[in-house]
Amino acid sequence: MSAGWFWAIAGLRRAVGVSAFLALAAFILGPLLTLLIWAFAGTWLFPNLLPEFSLKWWYYILSNGDVTKAIRMSLLSAPIATVLSALICIPAAYAFARFEFPARRILLLSFLSANAFPKIGLYISIATLLYKLNLMDTLTGVVLIQLINTLLFMIWIPTGTFRGINRNLEEAARDVGAGPLRTFFQITLPIALPGLIIASLFSFLAAFDEAQGTLIVGTPNHITMPVMMYTLVLSYPQPVGAVFSVLLSLPSLVFLLVAQRYLRAGYLAAGYSL
Partner 1 sequence: MARLSLHHLSKQFGTHAAVHDLTLDVRDGELMCLLGPSGCGKTTTLRMIGGFAQPDGGDIQINGESVVSLPPERRPTAMVFQRYNLWPHMTVAGNIAFGLRLRHLPSSAIDAKVAEVLTLVGLPGAAQKYPHQLSGGEQQRVAVARALVLEPKILLLDEPFSNLDARLRVHMREEVKQLQRKIGITTVFVTHDQEEALTIADRIAVMKDGVLQQVDTPDALYARPQTLFVADFIGTMNLLQARVEAAGHALTAGPWRLTLPPSHRPAGAEVTLAVRPEDLVVDPGGAPVRVRRVINLGHYLQILLDSPETGTLRMFTDKGASFVEGQDVRLAIARALAFTGSEVLELGGPMRPSVAASE
Partner 2 sequence: MTGSRREGALGLLLVLPPLLVLVFLIILPAITAVVDTLTPPAGAAPGPTLAHYSQVLATRVVRSDIGFSIVVTVISVAAVFCLSYPLALYLRFNQGRLPGLLAILFTIPLFVPVVIASFAMITFLVNHGLVSTILYRLGVQRFPPLMYNATGIVLTEVWASLPFAVLILGAGLQAIDDALIDSARDVGAGRLRTFVSIILPLNTTPTMITLTLLFISIFGSFTIPYLVGGNAPQMLGVTMTNYLTQYFRREDAVTMAVIAFAIASVVGAVYVISVSRRERGVL
Task: Count H helices and E strands in the chain, helices first.
Answer: 14, 2
Among 6, 9, 21, 42, binds partner 2 (CB under 8 A): 21
Q: Does 185 bind partner 1 (CB under 8 A)?
A: no
The interface region with partner 1, picked from 89-97, 146-154, 167-175, 222-230 by CB under 8 A, is: 167-175
What is the distance between the alpha carbons of residues 270 and 274, in angstroms, rounded to a whole number?
Answer: 6
Q: In terms of Cα–Cα distance, which of 79, 213, 84 is closest to 145?
A: 213
Please report, as residue ranges, which positions from 82 to 121 form the binding site for partner 1 (by CB under 8 A): none
- Using CB under 8 A, which residues numbered 88 to 147 contact partner 2? 88-89, 91-92, 94-96, 99-102, 104-105, 107-122, 124-129, 144, 147
Point out which span in 63-71, 173-181, 234-242, 243-251 binds partner 1 (CB under 8 A).
Answer: 173-181
By CB under 8 A, residue 267 contacts partner 1: yes
Binding mask of the shown chain, residues 229 to 258, with x at each position contacting partner 2 by CB under 8 A: xx--xx---x--xx--x--xx--xx-xx--
CA-based angle 80:127:121, to the nearest 5?
A: 105
Q: Binds 29, which of partner 2, partner 1, none (CB < 5 to 8 A, cut-off by type)?
A: partner 2
Distance CA 270, CA 191 (A): 10
Sign of the dihedral through C-alpha 249, 251, 253, 255: negative
Q: Is 2 helix (H, G, I), strand (E, B) or coil?
A: coil
